[in-house]
Amino acid sequence: MKRPTTSHFRVGRQYSTILNTRSRNSIRPLAVGTVLSFGALASYYFFFPDASRGAPTSKHEKLSPSHFTPCTITSSEPCGPNTRLITLKIPPKFLPASDEKRFSSIWSIFVKDDDIQVERPYTPLEGVDAEGQMRFWIKKYPHGEVSRWLHSKEVGDEIEIRGPLQTWLWKDDDVWDEVVMISGGTGIAPFYQLFHDIISQGVSPRTKFTLLHSSRSPSELPPSAILLPLSSFASENPKRFQFRVFVDTLDPTDEIDRLKVNVGRINRATLVSSIKEQSSPSKWWMWPLKKSAELDIDVRKTLFLLCGPEPMITALSGPYGRNFSQGPVGGVLEELSATSSQVYKF
């Protein structure tokens, strides 16, 4: 799960078309001072790291958000165009207590690129096991410093991480009748963690879950290590979990085992049909009511979680707010009358 983090500074200066020489001279020092102030601010931002990027490295303390801890790459497997399944291992003695809330789904860690001292957050698919292993599905982006750096690493190489950091907390109180997760590309990672820790473990048994995942082509779909557990659980627990996969295009020569792929993008019709299908009445005498029932998101207490490319997020739920805050609900979900309390954008 990757988000842009670079801040951009824009300095605007307005000049009146009617200024005499004296007024121009009086304004010039102020304008120069303003430019110098913004220049100093920009220089400070780019050349002096913030507290997180300047966090120290500790080889003796337990894993923590306040410092970096060395770990080792134990596996790095290519699994599609520009993607890899990468497994990291941290010595078990450095693991915090497993019952800490920071390890409650959904959480992530920061990986630091030692070459340029930049860090990026990544979500471990299955959390961390007792042996200290964490597995990630990571895509290499042309301008992604850390992702390209990670892809260049080999088994046995040592890197530094810090965390865990809570991304979003699942509350086990059955407050939601339905949870609809919508992901694109590697944005499936937080939802797979939720599936591994919550959905497949029978937590919140009355809540129904739906995962809608989209990739541009079959070759860019998640690896079988992710897809097969999801599809198998959905087949065995249709009343608990629904899983649907979408691709923009499908070549006739593409072969995808044990997985039904839908061609097209996730849109309003997709959401409505998924919610209605997941909410289908189990009693035969209620079937006639299903056809005439109106979709009522608020009454059924449906939660929408989204993680993926910004264009997808914007189309379905409206753009992020300033500094990647949640922003107001827009797009398809606004049309469906979803409120801000029912939508969360990762």
pLDDT in tens, 200-259: 998 888 899 999 999 999 999 999 999 999 999 999 999 999 999 999 987 666 666 556
Using a pLDDT cut of 70, give the percent of the chain over it.
74
pLDDT at residue 18 is higher than 60 = no
Q: Is 147 annotated as a binding residue?
A: yes
Is the preceding omega at residue 164 within 30 degrees of 0, hence cis? yes
User: How confident is the model at residue 53, as a pLDDT?
Assistant: 56
How much is the mean pLDDT over the chain? 81
120 is in an annotated binding site: yes
Residue 205 sits at the vertex; the CA angle it makes with 182 and 102, to the nearest 5 degrees, is 65
121 assigned binding-site residue: yes
Do 133 and 248 fall within a single domain? Answer: no
Task: Say whether 24 counts as a known binding-site residue.
Answer: no
Clarify whether residues 301 and 243 are in a common domain.
Answer: yes
Same domain, 143 and 187: no
Q: Are 147 and 196 members of one domain? A: no
Question: Which of the pair, 91 or 25, is modelled with greater confidence?
Answer: 91
What CATH number does residue 133 fall under? 2.40.30.10
> Is the domain of 251 the same as that of 273?
yes
Asked if 345 and 317 touch (Cβ cutoff 8 Å), the reply is yes
| pLDDT (0 to 100) of residue 227 | 96
pLDDT, position 38: 40
Mean pLDDT calculated for residue range 285-308: 67
Q: Is 122 annotated as a binding residue?
A: yes
Q: Is position 2 within any domain?
A: no
Q: What is d(CA 92, CA 89) in angstroms, rounded to the nearest whole number?
A: 9
Percent of the chain residues topping a pLDDT of 90: 62
> Region 186-199: what's the mean pLDDT?
97
pLDDT tens-digit readout, 5-14: 433 333 333 3
In a domain, residue 268? The reply is: yes
For the domain that residue 330 is a member of, what is the CATH number? 3.40.50.80
**Considering the domain boundaries, does residue 284 fall inside one?**
yes
- Listed residues 166, 195, 229: the one ending a domain: 166
Mean pLDDT for 287-291 is 47
Tell me, yes or no, whether 149 and 287 share the same domain: no
Query: pLDDT tier at 125 (50, 70, 90 boundaries)?
Result: very high
DSSP labels, 234-291: HHH-TTTEEEEEEES---TT---TT--EEES---HHHHHHHHHHHT--SSGGGHHHHH
Residue 19 has pLDDT above 80, yes or no: no
Section 95-124 average pLDDT: 88
* CA Rg value for the chain: 24
Does residue 47 belong to any structural domain of this protein?
A: no
Residue with the larger pLDDT of the pair 202 and 44: 202
pLDDT digit string (tens) for 269-286? 999 988 876 655 444 444
Domain of residue 296: give its range.
178-345
